[in-house]
Structure 1
Amino acid sequence: MSDRPRFFDDLAGVAGGAFSALTGLREELHAMVRTRIDEVLASLDLVRRDELDVARELAARARSAQEDADQRLRAMEERLSDLEKALTTPSTEG
């Protein structure tokens, strides 16, 4: 009877060792796949999400500044046109 529990203890030890080996193998495989994916992504010259968000924000600010500059330019052109009309129109005073 004492042989039987030892057999199960040995079997449990082998199973535990195999489980540990498989866990280690899984982690090693995961690390290898992750490294390979990182290499492929680096070779594709892709942009990280946070860099894309920053670029979008810069583009939005530039677009807003451009719209403001266009509006100011239109206002200046209108003022210049009004001044030119005032200078070319004969004065009725006098």
Structure 2
Amino acid sequence: MTISQSGQVRAHLGDAPVTLRLSLAALMQIEQALEISGLEALSMRFRALSASDLSEVLTALLIAGGHEDAQALAQAAAPTDAAKAVLACFQANLT
């Protein structure tokens, strides 16, 4: 995975190269989908993330990365690929 400008992370979901981006809009979408408020609550939720939570987070990051087919990409992703991509995006943007 590589980090480009504007906080974007390039990753692979299976054979598909994708771009993920953590934007304020993506954070808002994630908070709404997970019914939480704030980064501390998000951090706590990440400790017990369900498959549907992971899909919601990945979808938001893919949408912010410019993918029109974000939901389909997220739902088709292998769990390990999805988790690695989400982790890379958050690490690149919040550390």
Q: One fold, TM greater than 0.5?
A: no
State TM-score, norm by structure 1: 0.21
Q: Which has the higher strand share?
A: 2
Structure of larger gyration radius: 1
State TM-score, norm by structure 2: 0.21
Q: Which has the higher helix share?
A: 1
Q: Relative contact order, CA 8 A, sep 6+: which one is greater? A: 2
